[in-house]
């Protein structure tokens, strides 16, 4: 079971605060290329050994743990030296945009999925070479590397969201099989209150920062999309979007979820039974187990998000990219290719508990034998991320604010969808 308790540390990372400055300094976009020209990928990655020095930036605990992994790459390629610089998450976006403007980027780096559109628009990323096989990745994760029709880098690790529930309290509520549809989830939340004594049946975020990550899966499952296929216009104001918003709001209007719960106490509320259900990612299992001890472990259950038209969840994580200004591009791509190998990804999981982006790595016993992780793997087969557009972080902030109005002030789903659309259109997709 996952034991890391601080994993919600911006797995989907943003930080568009300095975007306007970066764009102004760079001339807004690819100044040396026609904006309509398709980027040319590097040549195919050959089978020869990597050589020279590869400079790499990585954030958080990944930056601290990665040197242990790359020792194996150096042993397999005696002529190469991988130099890794750990970067604090809070400083990372500014450091990247400054380096891009100054053309002083590392050779390769871990990059948050929501930075991909911005960095590609600045002309900073090298397109994925034809020698990198992307067919083995989870589709939703691979889509996070795509800007327009071009892939930049590879998914490195992934996470998705499931419904957590107290198995013992579910049994007390008469629930022996987790629900699979929207009606079933609501019925289970109600039974948790009426029969298992919970204050609220489920803990859902009442708007505010990051709430879009829980709300959008319901709208995706109802058939909504954030943009049109060309990613040039937003499509928030649709019946499908409203359907997802209406369902989400109904948990609060029906008093199955509350706006009065203290923030950042999800684990404690779960362990106490006060709120025995919530939606979150894989890191929460270890956090709950640490708080609740051995007694709570067998009672931690998870199930996939319930189905409307689909049963779509959110996919987050980080990608690995090579920068166009890399001084050792060929070897950098060889490192990225090695990081994408199933055996390497399984080794990385054991070091970091980061879930593999390569499907076949989930067959490793360290993952396959876990009581919860395989369910996350199943959910990753139907999981989405927002399109890689430059201004997504600003749009997400507007989305979160309107959801809060809907949940706390009773704004209608129709007016919420319209307000999100109006704000998003005013912000634009960027580029």
Q: What is the CATH number of the domain that holds 419?
A: 3.40.190.10
Per DSSP, helices labelled H in 310-391 are 329-339, 342-352, 365-368, 373-379
Residue 351 lies in a domain: yes
Q: Are residues 360 and 396 in the same domain?
A: no
Q: Are 257 and 149 members of one domain?
A: no
- Same domain? 153 vs 277: no
Give the three-state DSSP class for 124: coil
Q: Which residues of the chain, if any, have pLDDT below 70?
A: 1-43, 431
Domain with 397 in it: 162-313+388-427
Which pLDDT score is estimated for 41?
52
Task: Flag whether 11 is in a domain.
Answer: no
Q: Which residues contact 282 (CB under 8 A, 6 or more apart)?
A: 2, 7, 159, 160, 353, 355, 372, 373, 376
Q: Classify residue 333: in a domain, yes or no.
A: yes
The predicted pLDDT at position 37 comes to 47
For residue 2, tell me if it sits in a domain.
no
HSE (side-chain half, CA atoms, 13 Å) at 165? 27
Are 211 and 236 members of one domain?
A: yes
Give the pLDDT score at 236: 98
CA pair distance 327, 311, nearest whole angstrom: 44
Residue at which a domain ends, from 368, 384, 400: 384
pLDDT of residue 46: 78
**Residue 103, in any domain of the structure:** yes
378 and 413 together in one domain: no
Token pair for residue 282? 């894989």
**How high is the pLDDT of residue 162?**
98
Whether 26 and 125 share a structural domain: yes
Q: What is the mean pLDDT of the chain?
A: 90
User: Are 53 and 72 in the same domain?
Assistant: yes
The reply to whether 296 and 366 lie within a common domain is no
Specify whether 396 is located in the same domain as 266.
yes
In a domain, 3, yes or no: no
Considering the domain boundaries, does residue 1 fall inside one? no
Provide the pLDDT for residue 70.
98
What is the C-alpha separation between 160 and 95, in angstroms, rounded? Answer: 27
pTM score of the predicted model: 0.88
Sign of CA dihedral 70, 89, 151, 30: negative
Rounded to whole angstroms, how far apart are CA atoms 100 and 27?
Answer: 12
Q: For the chain, report the end-to-end CA distance as a whole number of angstroms.
A: 42
At 161, list the tokens: 């969201």
Q: 208 and 179 in one domain? A: yes
Quick one: 219 and 319 in the same domain?
Answer: no
Residue 348 lies in a domain: yes
Q: How many domains does the chain have?
A: 2
Report angle CA 208, 209, 215 to the nearest 5 degrees. 75
| pLDDT on residue 431 | 66
Q: Same domain, yes or no, for 319 and 308?
A: no
pLDDT given at position 248: 98
């Amino acid at each position: 079971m996952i034991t890391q308790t601080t994993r919600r540390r911006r797995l989907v990372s943003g930080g568009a605060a300095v975007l306007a400055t970066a764009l102004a300094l760079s001339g807004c976009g690819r100044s040396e290329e026609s904006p309509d020209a398709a980027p040319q990928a590097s040549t195919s990655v050959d089978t020869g050994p990597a050589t020279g020095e590869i400079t790499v930036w990585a954030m958080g605990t990944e930056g601290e743990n990665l040197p242990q992994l790359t020792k194996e790459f150096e042993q397999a390629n005696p002529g190469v030296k991988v130099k890794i610089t750990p970067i604090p998450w809070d400083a990372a976006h500014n450091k990247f945009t400054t380096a891009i403007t100054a053309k002083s980027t590392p050779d390769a780096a871990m990059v948050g999925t929501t930075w991909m559109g911005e960095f590609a628009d600045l002309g900073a990323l090298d397109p994925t070479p034809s020698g990198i096989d992307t067919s083995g990745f989870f589709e939703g994760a691979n889509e996070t590397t795509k800007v327009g029709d071009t892939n930049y880098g590879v998914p490195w690790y992934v996470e998705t969201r499931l419904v957590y529930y107290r198995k013992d309290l579910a049994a007390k509520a008469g629930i022996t099989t987790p629900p699979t549809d929207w009606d079933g989830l609501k019925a289970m939340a109600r039974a948790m209150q009426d029969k298992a004594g919970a204050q609220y049946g489920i803990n859902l975020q009442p708007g505010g920062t990051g709430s879009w990550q829980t709300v959008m899966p319901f709208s995706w499952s109802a058939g909504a999309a954030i943009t049109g296929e060309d990613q040039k216009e937003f499509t928030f104001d649709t019946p499908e979007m409203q359907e997802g918003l209406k369902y989400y709001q109904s948990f609060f209007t029906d008093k199955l979820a509350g706006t009065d719960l203290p923030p950042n106490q999800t684990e404690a509320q779960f362990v106490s039974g006060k709120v025995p259900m919530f939606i979150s990612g894989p890191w929460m299992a270890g956090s709950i187990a640490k708080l609740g001890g051995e007694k709570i472990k067998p009672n931690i259950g998870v199930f996939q998000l319930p189905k409307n038209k689909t049963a779509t969840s959110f996919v987050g994580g980080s990608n690995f990219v090579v920068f166009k200004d890399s001084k050792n591009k060929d070897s950098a791509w060889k490192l990225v290719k090695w990081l994408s190998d199933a055996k390497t990804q399984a080794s990385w999981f054991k070091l970091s508990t980061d879930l593999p982006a390569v499907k076949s790595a989930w067959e490793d016993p360290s993952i396959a034998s876990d009581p919860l992780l395989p369910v996350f793997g199943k959910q990753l087969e139907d999981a989405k991320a927002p399109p890689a557009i430059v201004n997504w972080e600003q749009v997400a902030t507007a989305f979160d604010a309107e959801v809060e109005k809907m949940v706390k002030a009773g704004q209608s789903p129709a007016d919420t969808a319209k307000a999100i659309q109006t704000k998003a259109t005013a912000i634009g997709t960027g580029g």
